[in-house]
Structure 1
Amino acid sequence: MAEVDHAALEAVQEEIEALAKLTENAELEIALKRNELMTPVFEKRREIIAKIPNFWPTVLQLSDAFSTLIEEHDLPVFEHLTDVWVKNDPKDARLFDIVFTFSENPYFTNKEVIKRILVRKDEDGEDEPYGADFKIDWKEGKDLTNLKRKKDEESSPASFFEWFNDEDVNLAQFIVQDFFPEALSIYTNGGEDDFGDDQSEDLEDEEDEDEEEEEEEEHPKKKSKK
């Protein structure tokens, strides 16, 4: 059997990793340029849809992918939603805020509820995006995240608004990459979008995987007796 040249393998692997990093940096530069070009267009769209009654509540319910994540008791809150906006960091495409603007309502005092995506170092020293916590100032007795779950739904969120204190970035990336850019198309096509079914399944699968990981951490498997 031929002897493996470990030095050559390591050199090739280092070259692969260097090119992957170079590609990643190039993609981030492209994303920054795309954000720069698209923001004025989105601002123009924002002015137009501001005149359409209940635009954003309608789009949320029409989007197959998004509507599956909203609980029935969340719907009255979203009736007060007046705007959704993605605020991108001008220097780092990985950083952004998703801003939900609400009119005065009986649920919370915040005018804006924000999902902020930041970056930190993971255990291996690699950059890792995560969702920062946001404090929703619920009015007395109106905190939907405190609602009791049904026995068969104990693993699922009590409310969509729990997401604002969740580090997971999958939904945020979906909103930025698919939902927000396609909002007008979803509205005009009555929810017939190109990403709805597949994306909703992906988001639900990812949510299930996160729940399974949490359960494994809380209830580690017992070691079998020898």
Structure 2
Amino acid sequence: CGEGRAQEGPGLLNLGALIVDPLEAVSAQADRAYLRLERRFRRMHRLHLARRSFIIQNIPGFWVTAFLNHPQLSAMISLRDEDMLCYLMNLEVRELRHSRTGCKFKFRFWSNPYFQNKVIMKEYECRASGRVVSIATRIRWHRGQEPPALVHRNRDTVRSFFSWFSQHSLPEADRVAQIIKDDLWPNPLQYYLLGDRPCRARGGLARWPTEAPSRPYGFQSG
């Protein structure tokens, strides 16, 4: 009996190898197919965002309307902020290589009387230590145009939306980033279509630049 069991061992090992090898091959093939599908999806997503970006650039006041119709973001926008956001041509959000490592926000503006920047960016990055840090473009304000950090509106005191770019440690700054990234950016059309924004911004639309927008930019999500 002992000899029989001894002879069984190699046979079972060979049988196991016959089962495992094909499974590994199938698994590797499935992994390759998944990566191809993922790359294809990312490419389609980039093309979709590029088309969306180009269309939005041709809709006067799209982003300021979406911001003002958003129930949380609108509470952070003063009258002066609204006038400045009327010059917002495009907003782009890009996750860094891995979503856990950070996210970049890119605001592209028409020429305006408030600041010199055509592009203002803010970036969040998660360091290896787990600490999240943020950096932002310094806004080059025209003389006398820098808004106060705190704005009195009715009986409330609110921060200027543009102070978000210089806030790097306040919890509300992270909250703004989270709202834009997870809610406004994926589907801004739902807020744009909520209805006309308040009449207080009509003057800004009257100043909407007449220059033709350029082709879609390469900076896109994914």
TM above 0.5, yes or no, is: yes
Q: What is the correspondence of 1:158-169 to structure 2 with a 5 Å cutoff?
A: 159-167=160-168, 168-169=173-174
Q: What is the correspondence of 1:1-226 to structure 2 with a 5 Å cutoff?
A: 38-89=45-96, 91-94=97-100, 95-120=102-127, 125=129, 127-145=130-148, 156-157=158-159, 159-167=160-168, 168-190=173-195
Provide closer, same or farther for how the CA distance between residues 62 and 146 of structure 1 changes in structure 2, counting only shifts above 3 A.
closer
Q: How much does 1:170 deviate?
A: 2.1
CA distance in 1, matches of 2:48, 2:186: 10
Larger Cα Rg: Structure 1 or Structure 2? 2
- Number of equivalenced pairs: 153
CA distance in 1, matches of 2:44, 2:174: 24
Measured against aligned partners, the alpha-carbon deviations of 1:127-177 in whole angstroms (never above 9, x if no partner) come to 132322431001111110356768x756x42x1111101124221122111
Identity of aligned residues (%): 27
What residue is the counterpart of 1:201 in the other structure? none
Contact 1:87 1:98 in 2 (8 A): yes
CA distance in 2, matches of 1:148, 1:41: 38
Provide closer, same or farther for how the CA distance between residues 129 and 39 of structure 1 changes in structure 2, counting only shifts above 3 A.
farther
CA RMSD, Structure 1 to Structure 2 (Å):
2.8
Helix, strand or coil: the match of 1:98? strand
Contact 2:117 2:139 in 1 (8 A): yes
Helix, strand or coil: the match of 2:137? coil
Q: Provide TM-score, normalisation by structure 2.
A: 0.60
Q: How much does 1:42 deviate?
A: 1.7
Structure 2: stretches of 5+ with no match in the other structure: 1-37, 197-222
CA distance in 1, matches of 2:113, 2:49: 30
Contact 1:129 1:169 in 2 (8 A): no
Contact 2:120 2:137 in 1 (8 A): yes
CA distance in 2, matches of 1:40, 1:70: 31
Q: Provide TM-score, normalisation by structure 1.
A: 0.59
Contact 1:132 1:166 in 2 (8 A): no
Give the AA of the match of 1:57. Answer: V
Q: How much does 1:85 deviate?
A: 0.8
Structure 1: stretches of 5+ with no match in the other structure: 1-31, 192-226
CA distance in 1, matches of 2:124, 2:59: 29
Give the AA of the match of 1:56. Answer: W
Contact 2:122 2:165 in 1 (8 A): yes
